Amino acid sequence: MMVLISALLGGTGIICLLYRKSFLGFLIGTQLLVLGASSMIVSIGVSSKVIDQGYLFGFFIVLGSVAQLIIGFALAVRLFYLKNRTGMDELRSLKH
Amino acid sequence: MAIVNTNLTLIELVYWICSAVALGAALTATFMSSIRFAILSLWVCGLAVGGIFLSQGAELLAITQWIISTLGALCFIFYSVMLGEYHSEETTPLKRKLVSAILPTLAGLGFSGVIWLGSRSLSSANAGANALNMAPPSPENAHNLATIGKSLMDKQFLSLQILGLTLFLVVVGAGVIARPEMKEKSS
């Protein structure tokens, strides 16, 4: 049941990633996905009797999500400089 | 009294309440048209996941999660105000929104189903018993903070250094990405 709840949380993140049209909404989806992943790792660690490793792996995932969030905000600012808006469709313009 | 009658311990009660709040907040953050309420829901979801960690005995992770969720929500508010999205709401008609939500919902449910079925098969293959369906553990079984810290510094020291270096590079890289356009100096 613990893994099911974590999977549903990650699935909600997938829905948000695909449903939202703005870049900040996309970042919200990635955060939900990371929350589901970290809670799943901790739950599996508890269930598999490797509690320490589950906690530490979850700790690294949570701190890794900070890096992802920082780069996401920087990309949003860059996008706003270039296009004056932050829609997902404008992300392609960052390639050029 | 109800807790005693249903043999539900306080830890389990906290776990299930936090799970329900986390799922509800995640759904609200996904489908709410206002970005303000989406950010607020994401914050509540992060706090609830921290509660889940706490009920599983991971105090360090719970506190880290609470701090990061709060700071992340503040950053979301700051950037949404700066980028002009804080008061924006999607004006798509309800029927069109429902149609556009069908495929993402199916994809999300499929993702959850695949993860759950995979974890069940892994559980039956490795442990024999249905270990992943066990109730949340009591904190007496959890390892204390000193054990976690010692394990972090002894066994995972290289990973910790790599994580720190990654965060440093990310901060520097974010500054480079977000810099304003500079005109090239004519020589």
DSSP chain A: -HHHHHHHHHHHHHHHHHH--BHHHHHHHHHHHHHHHHHHHHHHHHHTT-HHHHHHHHHHHHHHHHHHHHHHHHHHHHHHHHHSS-BGGGGGGGG-
ipTM value of the model? 0.90
Residue B89 — φ and ψ, nearest 5°? -135, 145
Phi-psi region of B57 (alpha: psi -120 to 50; beta: other; left: phi over 0): left
- Kindly indicate whether the domain formed by B1-87 is annotated with CATH number 1.10.10.10: no
- State the maximum Cα–Cα separation within chain A, in Å, rounded to a whole number: 51
Closest-CA distance of chain B to residue A70, Å? 7
Question: Is the pLDDT at B183 greater than 70, yes or no?
Answer: no
Q: Record the tokens describing residue B85, joined without a space.
A: 């999205």
Q: State the burial class of residue B158 (Cβ atoms within 10 Å of its Cβ: 0-12, 13-18, 19+).
A: exposed
Question: Each residue of B71-102: b (16+ CB within 10 Å) or e?
Answer: ebbebbbebbeebebbeeeeeeeeeeeeeeee
What's the whole-number mean pLDDT along residues B146-166? 85
pLDDT tens, position by position, B75-133: 999 888 888 777 776 677 777 777 788 888 888 889 888 888 887 777 666 554 444 44
Name residue B89's beta-bridge partners: B34
Query: Which of helix, strand or coil describes residue B34?
Result: strand
Considering only residues B155 and B133, tell me which one the structure prediction assigns the higher pLDDT: B155
Per-residue pLDDT, B6: 59
Give the architecture-level CATH label for domain A2-95: Orthogonal Bundle (1.10)
Question: Is the pLDDT at B39 greater than 70, yes or no?
Answer: yes
Considering only residues A14 and A52, tell me which one the structure prediction assigns the higher pLDDT: A14
Tell whether A41 lies on the interface with B, counting CB pairs under 8 A. no
Residue (of A53, A60, A35, A21) closest to B52 by Cα position: A35
Mean pLDDT of chain B: 80
Kindly determine whether residue B45 and residue A32, on different chains, have CB atoms separated by under 8 Å: yes
Question: Is the pLDDT at A4 greater than 90, yes or no?
Answer: no
Least confident interval from A24-28, B121-125, B154-158: B121-125
Per-residue pLDDT, A20: 86
Predicted TM-score of the model (pTM): 0.83
Per-residue pLDDT, A85: 77
Question: CB–CB of B71/A60 below 8 Å?
Answer: no
Per-residue pLDDT, B108: 87
What's the whole-number mean pLDDT along residues A65-86? 87
Rounded CA-CA distance B6/B126 in Å is 32
What's the whole-number mean pLDDT along residues B12-31? 91
Per-residue pLDDT, A90: 75
pLDDT tens, position by position, A10-25: 999 999 998 888 888 8
DSSP B167-184: HHHHHHHHHHHTPPP-PP
What's the whole-number mean pLDDT along residues A31-38? 92
Task: List chain B residues with CB under 8 Å of A80.
Answer: 82-83
Interface test with B, best of A44, A52, A60, A90 (most B CBs within 10 A): A52
Per-residue pLDDT, B128: 44
Question: Is the pLDDT at B41 greater than 90, yes or no?
Answer: yes
Domain ranges for chain B: 1-87
